[in-house]
Amino acid sequence: MSDDRPAPIRRPMFVKPSTLPKLSPERLKRQSLITRLACSLFDDHKHAIAFLNQANPSLGGRPLAIATESAEGYSAVEQTVRLIARPHSGRRQ
């Protein structure tokens, strides 16, 4: 008699399971939204990623962490991204 169950998935021995806590759906959504916004507004994706991951004195920390933490943090980072990414947009010269 054959067993029709699929073979169990085996994790390679050299891969350790993550010890980091998983993000809640709300935090994951804010993280995704702020990353997409920054990448769409900055001229270069590298600058967007650098901005999100470097401490920003005016925000009081890393923008990505601040935006992920709360809706208020997201709003603050969103405003900063819009100001920094295209400071001259909409102005007549």
End-to-end CA distance of the chain: 82
Q: Global pTM?
A: 0.71
The answer to whether the beta carbons of residues 56 and 73 sit under 8 Å apart is no
87/83: higher pLDDT? 83
- For residue 35, give both structure tokens: 């990353």
CA gap 6, 54 in Å, rounded: 46
Domain residues of the chain, as ranges? 25-85
Question: Mind listing the pLDDT tens digit for each residue in 1-25?
Answer: 566 788 777 766 676 777 777 889 9
C-alpha separations of 71 from 19, 46, 56, 74, 77 in Å: 26, 25, 18, 5, 10
Q: Residue 91 pLDDT > 60, yes or no?
A: no
Q: Percent of the chain having pLDDT more than 90?
A: 61
Q: Residue 77 pLDDT > 70, yes or no?
A: yes
| Phi and psi angles of residue 91, each rounded to the nearest 5 degrees, phi first | -90, 145
